[in-house]
Chain A
Amino acid sequence: MNASVSAAGVGVRFLFDRENRVVTPTLARLRRRGPETWGLRDISFQIGPGEGVALIGASGSGKTTLLRTLASVLVPDEGRLEVSGRIGSLLSIEAGLLSTLTGRENALLIGVLAGVPLQTMRARLDDVRELSRLGDNFERPVSSFSQGMRARLGFAAAEQLDPDVLLLDEVHEAFDHEYREVVERQVAALLLRGGIVVAAGHDHPMLARLCDRGLLLEKGQLKASGPRDEIVQAYLGR
Protein backbone atom coordinates (compact mmCIF):
# COMPACT_ATOMS: atom_id res chain seq x y z
CA MET A 1 0.00 0.00 0.00
CA ASN A 2 1.41 3.37 -0.99
CA ALA A 3 -1.01 5.92 0.41
CA SER A 4 -0.11 9.58 0.71
CA VAL A 5 -1.75 12.98 0.88
CA SER A 6 -0.02 16.18 -0.10
CA ALA A 7 -1.67 19.61 0.07
CA ALA A 8 0.13 22.80 -1.01
CA GLY A 9 -1.64 26.13 -0.62
CA VAL A 10 -5.08 24.58 -1.07
CA GLY A 11 -8.03 26.97 -1.10
CA VAL A 12 -11.75 26.41 -1.65
CA ARG A 13 -13.87 29.44 -2.42
CA PHE A 14 -17.64 29.82 -2.09
CA LEU A 15 -19.45 32.44 -4.14
CA PHE A 16 -22.85 33.79 -3.16
CA ASP A 17 -25.54 35.72 -4.98
CA ARG A 18 -27.33 38.72 -3.52
CA GLU A 19 -29.76 36.38 -1.73
CA ASN A 20 -26.86 34.57 -0.11
CA ARG A 21 -27.33 31.37 -2.10
CA VAL A 22 -24.16 29.54 -3.02
CA VAL A 23 -23.59 29.78 -6.77
CA THR A 24 -21.08 28.39 -9.24
CA PRO A 25 -18.63 30.81 -10.93
CA THR A 26 -20.66 30.68 -14.18
CA LEU A 27 -23.92 31.41 -12.37
CA ALA A 28 -22.21 34.18 -10.42
CA ARG A 29 -21.63 35.89 -13.77
CA LEU A 30 -25.31 35.58 -14.68
CA ARG A 31 -26.78 36.64 -11.33
CA ARG A 32 -26.10 39.73 -9.31
CA ARG A 33 -23.03 38.80 -7.35
CA GLY A 34 -23.04 38.75 -3.55
CA PRO A 35 -20.16 38.19 -1.16
CA GLU A 36 -17.55 35.45 -1.43
CA THR A 37 -15.85 33.48 1.28
CA TRP A 38 -12.99 31.01 1.45
CA GLY A 39 -13.96 27.74 3.15
CA LEU A 40 -10.28 26.82 3.11
CA ARG A 41 -7.30 29.06 2.45
CA ASP A 42 -3.62 28.33 2.05
CA ILE A 43 -3.76 24.82 3.53
CA SER A 44 -0.49 22.90 3.30
CA PHE A 45 0.36 19.56 4.90
CA GLN A 46 1.64 16.08 4.13
CA ILE A 47 0.31 12.77 5.38
CA GLY A 48 2.33 9.61 4.94
CA PRO A 49 1.53 5.87 5.01
CA GLY A 50 0.26 4.54 8.34
CA GLU A 51 -0.77 7.92 9.70
CA GLY A 52 -4.08 8.61 11.43
CA VAL A 53 -4.83 12.33 11.43
CA ALA A 54 -7.55 14.05 13.46
CA LEU A 55 -8.99 17.32 12.21
CA ILE A 56 -9.66 19.48 15.24
CA GLY A 57 -11.56 22.74 15.27
CA ALA A 58 -14.80 24.46 16.08
CA SER A 59 -17.91 24.10 13.90
CA GLY A 60 -17.37 26.09 10.70
CA SER A 61 -13.59 25.90 10.96
CA GLY A 62 -13.29 24.00 7.65
CA LYS A 63 -13.02 20.36 8.78
CA THR A 64 -15.86 19.12 6.56
CA THR A 65 -14.69 21.23 3.62
CA LEU A 66 -11.19 19.79 3.93
CA LEU A 67 -12.50 16.22 4.12
CA ARG A 68 -14.73 16.82 1.09
CA THR A 69 -11.78 18.24 -0.81
CA LEU A 70 -9.67 15.19 0.08
CA ALA A 71 -12.53 12.99 -1.15
CA SER A 72 -12.66 14.92 -4.48
CA VAL A 73 -16.22 16.00 -3.65
CA LEU A 74 -14.95 19.58 -3.84
CA VAL A 75 -12.28 20.72 -6.25
CA PRO A 76 -9.67 23.19 -4.95
CA ASP A 77 -9.97 26.68 -6.44
CA GLU A 78 -6.31 27.31 -5.73
CA GLY A 79 -3.25 25.31 -4.71
CA ARG A 80 -2.41 21.68 -5.37
CA LEU A 81 -3.81 18.56 -3.73
CA GLU A 82 -2.59 15.05 -4.41
CA VAL A 83 -4.14 11.97 -2.86
CA SER A 84 -2.55 8.63 -3.73
CA GLY A 85 -4.61 5.51 -3.19
CA ARG A 86 -8.23 4.47 -3.30
CA ILE A 87 -10.46 6.67 -1.14
CA GLY A 88 -13.24 5.45 1.13
CA SER A 89 -15.37 8.18 2.63
CA LEU A 90 -18.10 8.57 5.19
CA LEU A 91 -18.75 12.28 5.20
CA SER A 92 -22.29 12.72 6.44
CA ILE A 93 -24.90 10.98 8.55
CA GLU A 94 -26.63 10.06 5.29
CA ALA A 95 -23.32 8.48 4.26
CA GLY A 96 -24.00 8.77 0.52
CA LEU A 97 -27.11 6.61 0.80
CA LEU A 98 -30.31 6.91 -1.24
CA SER A 99 -33.22 6.26 1.09
CA THR A 100 -35.47 4.38 -1.35
CA LEU A 101 -32.77 1.83 -2.15
CA THR A 102 -32.05 -1.17 0.06
CA GLY A 103 -28.81 -1.56 1.96
CA ARG A 104 -27.59 -4.02 -0.68
CA GLU A 105 -28.46 -1.69 -3.58
CA ASN A 106 -26.81 1.27 -1.88
CA ALA A 107 -23.64 -0.69 -1.16
CA LEU A 108 -23.46 -1.75 -4.81
CA LEU A 109 -23.93 1.81 -6.04
CA ILE A 110 -21.32 3.24 -3.65
CA GLY A 111 -18.80 0.59 -4.65
CA VAL A 112 -19.23 1.00 -8.40
CA LEU A 113 -19.15 4.82 -8.19
CA ALA A 114 -15.89 4.49 -6.26
CA GLY A 115 -14.39 2.52 -9.15
CA VAL A 116 -14.87 -1.12 -8.12
CA PRO A 117 -16.02 -3.21 -11.12
CA LEU A 118 -19.70 -4.14 -10.99
CA GLN A 119 -19.10 -7.90 -10.85
CA THR A 120 -16.44 -7.56 -8.15
CA MET A 121 -18.70 -5.36 -6.05
CA ARG A 122 -21.62 -7.80 -6.45
CA ALA A 123 -19.38 -10.55 -5.12
CA ARG A 124 -18.46 -8.41 -2.11
CA LEU A 125 -22.02 -7.53 -1.06
CA ASP A 126 -22.36 -10.38 1.41
CA ASP A 127 -19.16 -9.18 3.08
CA VAL A 128 -20.66 -5.68 3.35
CA ARG A 129 -23.77 -7.22 4.94
CA GLU A 130 -21.58 -9.14 7.37
CA LEU A 131 -19.43 -6.14 8.33
CA SER A 132 -22.43 -3.82 8.67
CA ARG A 133 -24.05 -6.30 11.10
CA LEU A 134 -27.42 -5.21 9.79
CA GLY A 135 -28.73 -8.76 9.30
CA ASP A 136 -31.98 -8.91 7.32
CA ASN A 137 -32.26 -5.11 7.46
CA PHE A 138 -29.56 -5.05 4.78
CA GLU A 139 -32.24 -6.13 2.28
CA ARG A 140 -34.67 -3.37 3.33
CA PRO A 141 -34.90 0.23 2.12
CA VAL A 142 -32.56 2.58 3.93
CA SER A 143 -35.53 4.86 4.73
CA SER A 144 -36.36 2.36 7.49
CA PHE A 145 -32.86 2.63 9.01
CA SER A 146 -31.89 4.59 12.12
CA GLN A 147 -28.96 7.01 11.83
CA GLY A 148 -26.68 4.48 13.51
CA MET A 149 -27.71 1.78 11.02
CA ARG A 150 -27.06 4.14 8.10
CA ALA A 151 -23.63 4.95 9.49
CA ARG A 152 -22.89 1.21 9.81
CA LEU A 153 -23.91 0.59 6.22
CA GLY A 154 -21.90 3.57 4.98
CA PHE A 155 -18.84 2.42 6.89
CA ALA A 156 -19.13 -1.19 5.76
CA ALA A 157 -19.57 -0.10 2.13
CA ALA A 158 -16.57 2.24 2.36
CA GLU A 159 -14.49 -0.53 3.94
CA GLN A 160 -15.33 -2.97 1.16
CA LEU A 161 -13.77 -0.57 -1.33
CA ASP A 162 -10.52 -1.72 0.20
CA PRO A 163 -9.53 1.91 0.74
CA ASP A 164 -6.00 3.18 1.12
CA VAL A 165 -7.30 6.48 2.48
CA LEU A 166 -10.33 6.45 4.80
CA LEU A 167 -12.12 9.73 5.50
CA LEU A 168 -14.56 9.99 8.42
CA ASP A 169 -16.55 13.09 9.31
CA GLU A 170 -18.32 13.03 12.68
CA VAL A 171 -20.63 10.28 11.47
CA HIS A 172 -18.50 7.71 13.27
CA GLU A 173 -19.89 9.33 16.40
CA ALA A 174 -23.30 7.91 15.41
CA PHE A 175 -22.02 4.36 15.98
CA ASP A 176 -23.10 2.50 19.09
CA HIS A 177 -20.52 1.25 21.58
CA GLU A 178 -20.31 -2.21 20.05
CA TYR A 179 -19.81 -0.97 16.51
CA ARG A 180 -17.23 1.60 17.56
CA GLU A 181 -15.01 -1.32 18.47
CA VAL A 182 -15.49 -2.75 14.98
CA VAL A 183 -14.57 0.62 13.43
CA GLU A 184 -11.50 0.96 15.63
CA ARG A 185 -10.34 -2.56 14.71
CA GLN A 186 -10.79 -1.85 10.98
CA VAL A 187 -8.99 1.49 11.25
CA ALA A 188 -6.09 -0.08 13.18
CA ALA A 189 -5.77 -2.78 10.49
CA LEU A 190 -5.79 -0.16 7.73
CA LEU A 191 -3.05 1.88 9.44
CA LEU A 192 -1.01 -1.25 9.95
CA ARG A 193 -1.23 -1.96 6.22
CA GLY A 194 0.18 1.50 5.50
CA GLY A 195 -3.14 3.21 4.86
CA ILE A 196 -4.23 6.66 5.98
CA VAL A 197 -7.17 7.72 8.14
CA VAL A 198 -8.34 11.32 8.37
CA ALA A 199 -11.17 11.85 10.86
CA ALA A 200 -12.99 14.93 12.08
CA GLY A 201 -15.29 15.27 15.06
CA HIS A 202 -15.79 16.51 18.56
CA ASP A 203 -15.54 13.12 20.28
CA HIS A 204 -11.90 13.57 21.23
CA PRO A 205 -11.52 10.26 23.13
CA MET A 206 -12.67 8.39 20.03
CA LEU A 207 -10.40 10.46 17.78
CA ALA A 208 -7.57 9.61 20.17
CA ARG A 209 -8.15 5.92 19.53
CA LEU A 210 -8.08 6.43 15.74
CA CYS A 211 -5.40 9.07 15.25
CA ASP A 212 -1.94 9.96 16.56
CA ARG A 213 -1.59 13.26 14.77
CA GLY A 214 -3.77 16.36 14.70
CA LEU A 215 -4.40 19.35 12.45
CA LEU A 216 -5.96 22.41 14.06
CA LEU A 217 -8.26 24.37 11.77
CA GLU A 218 -9.67 27.82 12.45
CA LYS A 219 -11.75 29.89 10.04
CA GLY A 220 -10.61 27.78 7.10
CA GLN A 221 -6.92 28.06 7.88
CA LEU A 222 -4.46 25.57 9.27
CA LYS A 223 -3.28 26.91 12.63
CA ALA A 224 -1.19 24.03 13.88
CA SER A 225 -0.06 20.51 13.08
CA GLY A 226 1.47 18.02 15.51
CA PRO A 227 0.84 15.22 18.00
CA ARG A 228 -2.90 14.85 18.56
CA ASP A 229 -2.85 15.53 22.33
CA GLU A 230 -0.95 18.80 21.86
CA ILE A 231 -3.35 19.91 19.15
CA VAL A 232 -6.39 19.05 21.29
CA GLN A 233 -4.86 21.00 24.18
CA ALA A 234 -4.14 23.95 21.92
CA TYR A 235 -7.77 23.85 20.70
CA LEU A 236 -9.30 23.52 24.17
CA GLY A 237 -7.00 26.16 25.64
CA ARG A 238 -7.70 28.79 22.97
Chain B
Amino acid sequence: MNGSRTLRQRLDVLIALTIADLRVRYGRGRFRVVKWLIDPLAALGVYLVLVSFAVSKSGEARGLSIACAVVPFQLVIATAVNSMSSVLSRRNVVLNMGFDKTLIPVSSVLTETAVFIADLALIVMTMAIYRVAPTTAILWFPLIFVVTVVFALGFAYPLTVFGVWYPELRLFGVSALRTLFFIAAALIPLASVEGDAHWLLQINPLTEIFESYRDVFLYGRAPSALNVLYPLAFAALLLAAFAPLYRREQRQFAKVVD
Protein backbone atom coordinates (compact mmCIF):
# COMPACT_ATOMS: atom_id res chain seq x y z
CA MET B 1 0.00 0.00 0.00
CA ASN B 2 2.78 2.36 1.04
CA GLY B 3 4.81 1.30 -2.00
CA SER B 4 1.96 2.05 -4.41
CA ARG B 5 1.40 5.43 -2.75
CA THR B 6 5.09 6.28 -3.19
CA LEU B 7 4.93 5.16 -6.83
CA ARG B 8 1.80 7.27 -7.38
CA GLN B 9 3.52 10.24 -5.74
CA ARG B 10 6.61 9.86 -7.94
CA LEU B 11 4.39 9.61 -11.00
CA ASP B 12 2.60 12.83 -9.97
CA VAL B 13 5.96 14.58 -9.53
CA LEU B 14 7.07 13.34 -12.94
CA ILE B 15 3.86 14.55 -14.61
CA ALA B 16 4.05 17.96 -12.90
CA LEU B 17 7.73 18.43 -13.80
CA THR B 18 7.12 17.42 -17.42
CA ILE B 19 4.05 19.60 -17.96
CA ALA B 20 5.87 22.59 -16.45
CA ASP B 21 8.96 21.83 -18.53
CA LEU B 22 6.94 21.66 -21.76
CA ARG B 23 5.48 25.09 -21.02
CA VAL B 24 8.82 26.61 -20.03
CA ARG B 25 10.70 25.22 -23.05
CA TYR B 26 8.06 25.30 -25.76
CA GLY B 27 5.52 27.90 -24.66
CA ARG B 28 1.81 27.35 -24.88
CA GLY B 29 -1.05 27.61 -27.36
CA ARG B 30 -2.40 25.62 -30.26
CA PHE B 31 0.48 26.39 -32.60
CA ARG B 32 3.27 25.12 -30.40
CA VAL B 33 3.27 21.84 -32.34
CA VAL B 34 4.36 23.89 -35.36
CA LYS B 35 7.29 25.21 -33.30
CA TRP B 36 8.22 21.63 -32.42
CA LEU B 37 8.38 20.74 -36.12
CA ILE B 38 10.40 23.72 -37.33
CA ASP B 39 13.77 22.54 -36.00
CA PRO B 40 13.79 19.00 -37.46
CA LEU B 41 12.18 20.27 -40.67
CA ALA B 42 14.98 22.83 -41.10
CA ALA B 43 17.61 20.17 -40.36
CA LEU B 44 16.01 17.80 -42.86
CA GLY B 45 15.99 20.52 -45.54
CA VAL B 46 19.64 21.44 -45.01
CA TYR B 47 20.83 17.82 -44.99
CA LEU B 48 18.75 16.97 -48.04
CA VAL B 49 20.35 19.83 -49.99
CA LEU B 50 23.77 18.72 -48.73
CA VAL B 51 23.26 15.11 -49.78
CA SER B 52 21.65 15.99 -53.12
CA PHE B 53 24.20 18.54 -54.30
CA ALA B 54 27.36 18.29 -52.23
CA VAL B 55 27.72 14.60 -51.40
CA SER B 56 25.92 13.62 -54.58
CA LYS B 57 25.18 10.09 -53.39
CA SER B 58 22.35 8.38 -55.10
CA GLY B 59 19.82 6.33 -53.19
CA GLU B 60 16.15 5.69 -52.88
CA ALA B 61 13.87 8.23 -51.17
CA ARG B 62 16.76 10.32 -49.85
CA GLY B 63 14.51 12.69 -47.95
CA LEU B 64 12.84 9.82 -46.09
CA SER B 65 16.21 8.19 -45.44
CA ILE B 66 17.49 11.42 -43.85
CA ALA B 67 14.25 11.91 -41.92
CA CYS B 68 14.83 8.42 -40.43
CA ALA B 69 18.03 9.83 -38.91
CA VAL B 70 16.98 13.42 -38.17
CA VAL B 71 13.80 12.55 -36.26
CA PRO B 72 15.26 10.06 -33.72
CA PHE B 73 18.38 12.20 -33.38
CA GLN B 74 16.13 15.17 -32.59
CA LEU B 75 15.02 13.32 -29.45
CA VAL B 76 18.61 12.61 -28.42
CA ILE B 77 19.92 16.15 -29.00
CA ALA B 78 16.84 17.86 -27.54
CA THR B 79 17.11 15.65 -24.46
CA ALA B 80 20.79 16.59 -24.19
CA VAL B 81 20.05 20.32 -24.40
CA ASN B 82 17.18 19.98 -21.95
CA SER B 83 19.19 17.84 -19.50
CA MET B 84 22.17 20.17 -19.41
CA SER B 85 19.98 23.10 -18.40
CA SER B 86 17.37 21.17 -16.41
CA VAL B 87 18.73 21.89 -12.94
CA LEU B 88 19.75 25.50 -13.61
CA SER B 89 16.38 26.29 -15.20
CA ARG B 90 14.73 25.01 -12.01
CA ARG B 91 17.20 26.85 -9.79
CA ASN B 92 14.45 28.74 -7.93
CA VAL B 93 12.67 25.51 -7.06
CA VAL B 94 15.88 23.64 -6.17
CA LEU B 95 16.84 26.43 -3.75
CA ASN B 96 13.41 26.73 -2.17
CA MET B 97 12.33 23.22 -1.32
CA GLY B 98 13.55 19.69 -0.94
CA PHE B 99 12.08 17.32 -3.52
CA ASP B 100 12.95 14.14 -5.39
CA LYS B 101 15.50 15.41 -7.91
CA THR B 102 16.24 11.93 -9.25
CA LEU B 103 13.23 12.41 -11.53
CA ILE B 104 14.61 15.50 -13.29
CA PRO B 105 16.47 13.58 -16.06
CA VAL B 106 13.42 11.35 -16.64
CA SER B 107 11.29 14.47 -16.94
CA SER B 108 13.72 15.92 -19.52
CA VAL B 109 13.31 12.78 -21.62
CA LEU B 110 9.51 12.81 -21.28
CA THR B 111 9.32 16.48 -22.30
CA GLU B 112 11.34 15.85 -25.43
CA THR B 113 9.50 12.59 -26.14
CA ALA B 114 6.27 14.59 -26.41
CA VAL B 115 7.97 16.77 -29.02
CA PHE B 116 9.48 13.67 -30.67
CA ILE B 117 6.01 12.17 -31.14
CA ALA B 118 4.98 15.33 -33.00
CA ASP B 119 8.21 15.18 -35.03
CA LEU B 120 7.22 11.73 -36.30
CA ALA B 121 4.86 13.63 -38.61
CA LEU B 122 7.99 14.45 -40.59
CA ILE B 123 8.53 10.77 -41.38
CA VAL B 124 4.89 10.36 -42.35
CA MET B 125 5.18 13.46 -44.55
CA THR B 126 8.31 12.25 -46.35
CA MET B 127 6.77 8.79 -46.82
CA ALA B 128 3.87 10.52 -48.59
CA ILE B 129 6.20 12.70 -50.67
CA TYR B 130 8.27 9.70 -51.84
CA ARG B 131 5.17 7.52 -52.20
CA VAL B 132 6.53 4.90 -49.80
CA ALA B 133 3.58 2.89 -48.53
CA PRO B 134 3.68 1.63 -44.95
CA THR B 135 4.09 -2.12 -44.57
CA THR B 136 3.49 -4.52 -41.70
CA ALA B 137 7.07 -3.73 -40.62
CA ILE B 138 5.57 -0.62 -39.03
CA LEU B 139 4.40 -2.93 -36.23
CA TRP B 140 8.03 -2.91 -35.08
CA PHE B 141 7.84 0.82 -34.49
CA PRO B 142 6.82 0.64 -30.80
CA LEU B 143 9.99 -1.37 -30.13
CA ILE B 144 12.35 1.06 -31.87
CA PHE B 145 10.47 3.95 -30.24
CA VAL B 146 11.24 2.46 -26.81
CA VAL B 147 14.87 1.89 -27.83
CA THR B 148 15.19 5.56 -28.86
CA VAL B 149 13.66 6.80 -25.60
CA VAL B 150 15.87 4.52 -23.47
CA PHE B 151 18.91 5.62 -25.48
CA ALA B 152 18.02 9.29 -24.80
CA LEU B 153 17.56 8.46 -21.10
CA GLY B 154 21.05 6.96 -21.04
CA PHE B 155 22.44 10.37 -22.03
CA ALA B 156 20.13 12.32 -19.73
CA TYR B 157 21.80 11.36 -16.43
CA PRO B 158 25.44 12.15 -17.33
CA LEU B 159 24.47 15.31 -19.20
CA THR B 160 22.39 16.66 -16.31
CA VAL B 161 25.43 16.30 -14.05
CA PHE B 162 27.66 17.76 -16.79
CA GLY B 163 25.36 20.81 -17.08
CA VAL B 164 25.63 21.43 -13.34
CA TRP B 165 29.38 20.84 -13.15
CA TYR B 166 30.32 22.73 -16.29
CA PRO B 167 27.52 25.14 -17.23
CA GLU B 168 29.95 27.12 -19.40
CA LEU B 169 30.62 24.01 -21.52
CA ARG B 170 27.02 23.23 -22.45
CA LEU B 171 27.51 24.35 -26.06
CA PHE B 172 30.50 22.06 -26.31
CA GLY B 173 28.31 19.19 -25.10
CA VAL B 174 25.78 19.90 -27.88
CA SER B 175 28.55 20.12 -30.49
CA ALA B 176 30.01 16.80 -29.33
CA LEU B 177 26.64 15.12 -29.79
CA ARG B 178 26.19 16.70 -33.23
CA THR B 179 29.59 15.25 -34.15
CA LEU B 180 28.27 11.85 -33.10
CA PHE B 181 25.42 12.39 -35.59
CA PHE B 182 27.81 13.08 -38.45
CA ILE B 183 29.98 10.06 -37.70
CA ALA B 184 26.92 7.82 -37.89
CA ALA B 185 25.08 6.59 -40.96
CA ALA B 186 22.89 9.68 -40.80
CA LEU B 187 22.93 11.39 -44.17
CA ILE B 188 23.36 8.22 -46.18
CA PRO B 189 22.28 4.68 -45.28
CA LEU B 190 24.88 2.28 -43.95
CA ALA B 191 24.52 0.06 -47.04
CA SER B 192 25.88 2.91 -49.19
CA VAL B 193 29.09 3.08 -47.17
CA GLU B 194 31.86 0.70 -48.12
CA GLY B 195 35.19 -0.41 -46.72
CA ASP B 196 36.48 0.34 -43.24
CA ALA B 197 34.13 3.29 -42.88
CA HIS B 198 31.20 0.85 -42.90
CA TRP B 199 32.46 -0.89 -39.77
CA LEU B 200 33.55 2.32 -38.10
CA LEU B 201 30.09 3.84 -38.54
CA GLN B 202 28.58 0.72 -37.03
CA ILE B 203 30.48 1.29 -33.79
CA ASN B 204 28.33 4.37 -33.28
CA PRO B 205 25.05 3.23 -31.64
CA LEU B 206 23.23 6.06 -33.41
CA THR B 207 23.84 4.20 -36.69
CA GLU B 208 21.84 1.23 -35.39
CA ILE B 209 18.99 3.49 -34.36
CA PHE B 210 18.90 5.28 -37.73
CA GLU B 211 19.05 1.98 -39.59
CA SER B 212 16.18 0.56 -37.55
CA TYR B 213 13.98 3.52 -38.59
CA ARG B 214 15.00 2.98 -42.23
CA ASP B 215 14.17 -0.72 -41.92
CA VAL B 216 10.72 -0.02 -40.57
CA PHE B 217 9.70 3.03 -42.61
CA LEU B 218 11.78 2.86 -45.80
CA TYR B 219 12.69 -0.76 -46.53
CA GLY B 220 9.59 -2.31 -44.99
CA ARG B 221 11.38 -4.98 -42.99
CA ALA B 222 11.99 -5.86 -39.36
CA PRO B 223 14.98 -4.19 -37.68
CA SER B 224 17.91 -6.48 -36.97
CA ALA B 225 18.62 -7.68 -33.44
CA LEU B 226 21.82 -5.62 -33.51
CA ASN B 227 19.79 -2.50 -34.37
CA VAL B 228 17.80 -2.98 -31.20
CA LEU B 229 20.23 -4.56 -28.73
CA TYR B 230 23.34 -2.47 -29.33
CA PRO B 231 21.76 0.94 -28.52
CA LEU B 232 19.97 -0.64 -25.54
CA ALA B 233 23.24 -2.10 -24.23
CA PHE B 234 24.96 1.27 -24.75
CA ALA B 235 22.19 3.05 -22.82
CA ALA B 236 22.32 0.42 -20.06
CA LEU B 237 26.04 1.01 -19.74
CA LEU B 238 25.54 4.78 -19.45
CA LEU B 239 22.79 4.31 -16.89
CA ALA B 240 24.84 1.85 -14.85
CA ALA B 241 27.77 4.25 -14.81
CA PHE B 242 26.02 7.57 -14.32
CA ALA B 243 22.69 7.01 -12.54
CA PRO B 244 24.49 6.24 -9.22
CA LEU B 245 26.73 9.29 -9.75
CA TYR B 246 23.66 11.44 -10.40
CA ARG B 247 21.94 10.06 -7.31
CA ARG B 248 24.95 11.06 -5.21
CA GLU B 249 25.47 14.44 -6.84
CA GLN B 250 21.84 15.64 -6.74
CA ARG B 251 22.16 15.98 -2.97
CA GLN B 252 24.72 18.73 -3.61
CA PHE B 253 22.96 20.58 -6.47
CA ALA B 254 21.66 23.40 -4.27
CA LYS B 255 25.19 24.30 -3.20
CA VAL B 256 26.42 24.55 -6.78
CA VAL B 257 23.51 26.37 -8.44
CA ASP B 258 23.17 29.05 -5.76
Contacts and interface: CB of A to CB of B under 8 A. Distances in A.
A117 B4 CA distance: 13
A101 B258 contact: no
A134 interface: no
B20 A114 contact: no
A117 B255 contact: no
Contacts of A94: 92, 95-96
B258 A22 contact: yes
Interface string B128-148: 000000000000000000000
Interface of A: 14, 22-27, 68, 71-75, 87, 89-92, 94-98, 100-101, 105, 108-110, 112-115, 117-118, 154
B92 A24 contact: no
A71 B99 CA distance: 9
A101 B23 contact: yes
B165 A27 contact: yes
B16 A73 contact: no
B24 interface: yes
Contact of B93 (A23, A74, A113, A117): A113
Interface residues of B, number: 33
B121 to A, nearest CB: 26
B93 A98 contact: yes
B98 interface: yes
11 contacts: A22-B255, A23-B256, A24-B252, A27-B256, A73-B96, A73-B254, A74-B255, A91-B96, A96-B95, A97-B93, A117-B9
B251 interface: yes
Given A23-B256, A26-B248, A101-B20, A109 B93 contact: yes
A193 to B, nearest CB: 21
B85 to A, nearest CB: 13
B249 A92 contact: no
The 8 A-B pairs of least Cβ separation, nearest first, read A72-B98, A96-B96, A112-B16, A24-B252, A113-B99, A118-B12, A94-B92, A75-B251
B258 A96 contact: no
Interface string B94-113: 11111110000000000000
Interface string B1-40: 0000000110011011101100110000000000000000
A74 to B, nearest CB: 5
A118 B20 CA distance: 13
B118 interface: no
B20 A105 contact: yes
A97 B16 contact: no
